[in-house]
């Protein structure tokens, strides 16, 4: 399966600390996307990084992509209690299936 | 995202019943998707549609069917519901894209379905 795997499965940090989540995948991708899900709600797109990009920033988010290692990381700086959510990576394949493959997610808890 | 709505938001039904979940969008997107989410398994694609005349099976289509009644509407049906179809169901949309580049998807709020 191409399904990405996030690491760690769960992460608990203090408000103000940085949170880093990792995603690994198996086959060549066109792009990789990160989504956020508040408990029981729909997913919200955070950021998209293309296969020819190595790093991308959006506000307090920093995403890196290492295609040689087939991995990506999402860094949330200066975390806030409102960042508490599950975070999913999703991969769009270079060839083949015409859909996104979602990972199993990292559950982030930010303690006030 | 209020631009993608799902009805009902919660549904409890019995084994063997036929159930329809509906999705509507005002984003003007061509592409629509149905996913299910189970604890610890992430999201899995059930069906997707690139336009009204284009319907495609996803990873786990068995036991489900869909109908794209219009560009803005995409319905998911469980012909004969079974307990292992208890899950959180999401509809999503995305904009048309050229080539093989996949754009971001916009998700509805979800339907929590329980099959007893």
Task: Measure in Å the smallest separation between the Cα of A43 and chain B Cα atoms.
Answer: 6
SS3 B85: helix
pLDDT, averaged per 10 consecutive residues of chain B (116 residues), comes to 88 96 94 91 89 90 95 96 96 74 84 96
Tens digit of each residue's pLDDT (9 = 90 or more) over A47-95: 999 999 999 999 999 999 999 999 999 999 999 999 999 999 999 887 6
**Count of Cβ atoms closer than 10 Å to residue B112 Cβ:** 15
Distance, in Å, from the CA atom of B47 to the CA atom of A57, rounded to the nearest integer, reads 32
Task: Give alpha helix (H) positions in A1-112.
Answer: none
Q: What is the DSSP string of B35-68?
A: EEEETTTEEEEEEEEEETTEEEE-TT-TTEEEEE
Q: Residue A95: which of B41, B88, B100 has the nearest Cβ? A: B100
Q: What is the DSSP string of B97-116?
A: -STTPPPP-EE---EEEEE-
Tens digit of each residue's pLDDT (9 = 90 or more) over B57-81: 998 999 999 999 999 999 999 999 9
Which chain B residues are closer than 8 Å to A50 by Cβ? Answer: 101
* Interface contact flag, B112 A40, Cβ < 8 Å: yes
* Chain B contact present for A34, CB below 8 A: no
């Amino acid at each position: 399966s191409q399904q990405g795997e996030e690491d760690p499965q769960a992460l608990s940090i203090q408000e103000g600390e940085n949170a880093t989540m990792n995603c690994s995948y198996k086959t060549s991708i066109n792009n990789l996307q990160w989504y956020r899900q508040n408990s029981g709600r729909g997913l919200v797109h955070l950021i998209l990084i293309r296969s020819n990009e190595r790093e991308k920033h959006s506000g307090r988010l920093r995403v890196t992509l290492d295609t040689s290692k087939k991995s990506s990381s999402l860094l949330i700086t200066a975390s806030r209690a409102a960042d508490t959510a599950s975070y999913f990576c999703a991969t769009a394949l270079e060839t083949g299936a015409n859909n996104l493959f979602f990972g199993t997610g990292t559950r982030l808890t930010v303690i006030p | 995202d209020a631009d993608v709505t799902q009805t009902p938001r919660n549904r409890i039904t019995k084994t063997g019943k036929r159930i329809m979940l509906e999705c509507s969008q005002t984003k003007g997107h061509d592409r629509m998707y149905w996913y299910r989410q189970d604890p610890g398994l992430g999201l899995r694609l059930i069906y997707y549609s690139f336009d009204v005349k284009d319907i495609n099976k996803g990873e786990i289509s068995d036991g489900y069917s869909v109908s794209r009644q219009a560009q803005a509407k995409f319905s998911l049906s469980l012909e004969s519901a079974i307990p292992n179809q208890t899950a959180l169901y999401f509809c999503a949309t995305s904009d048309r894209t050229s080539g093989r580049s996949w754009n971001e998807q916009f998700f509805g709020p979800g339907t929590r379905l329980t099959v007893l």
